[in-house]
Amino acid sequence: MPNRRRDQSGRLARALSVIAGLGLVVGAVAAILFSVLVATTRADIARSNRILLVGSELLSDMKDLETGERGYVITADPNYLAPYYASESVLDSELARLEIPDAQRAPLTREVTAKRAFAREVIDSINQNGEQSARALILSGRDKMLMDQVRTTVHTIQNNASEDITRKERRQSRWSPVLQLIGAVGFSVAFLAVLTLAILRRRAERASIALLSRVMDNAPTSAWA
């Protein structure tokens, strides 16, 4: 009977050890996945926010470019070209800073290049052929069409970035509680298994001490003489 009881205790101890190990593994994996989720979401949202910011800067500078171009057409005063030259100096860097796929970058680059080329054509026209020639180019409607194309493309890119932020926030809101719960359950199971194992071992030690004490108490006196 004692041997059978010891065997059962041994099997229980091994089972508790396995459960504790599995609980720790599950809790650790859940904690790691939670950390990765938070870090990935933070990085993705930061990138999308940069897209929104740079897109707004690009649109603002494109408007300044157009303002300088049209101001020069109306006044023929070179001072009105200051916004044009200021915008020309930063547009390339802004296009490069946009963290978007090539499938989005290529059409935007073409549209910005076309708008810049037309603005340059208008300025060259007023310098070479006079105000009437430049105004005819403006009134053709091409200038507005090119600017509308740029504006539409940038707004589409920004809308995609905003939607991406929403998706990432929803994903984190959906999975964070699940991973936290799994981690808490895993670590709790491991703690309870270790605690139970410690209690059982403590009881076994007490039983062994009690058994040894009884044996010594019942031993013949002559055996210790």
Per-domain boundaries in the chain: 38-185
Of 83, 89, 53, whose CA–CA distance to 71 is shortest?
83
Query: What pLDDT is recorded for position 138?
Result: 86
pLDDT mean for each 10 residues of the chain (225 residues)? 58 83 93 95 96 97 94 90 95 95 94 96 90 87 94 96 96 94 93 84 66 59 48
Taking the CA atoms of the chain, what radius of gyration do you get in angstroms?
A: 38
| Residue 57: predicted pLDDT | 97
pLDDT value at position 210?
A: 59
Note the pLDDT of residue 205.
65
* Alpha carbons 211 and 209: distance in angstroms, whole number: 5
Q: What's the pLDDT score for residue 176?
A: 94
Q: Tell whether domain 38-185 is in CATH 3.40.50.460.
A: no
Q: What is the pLDDT of residue 223?
A: 47
pTM of the model: 0.79
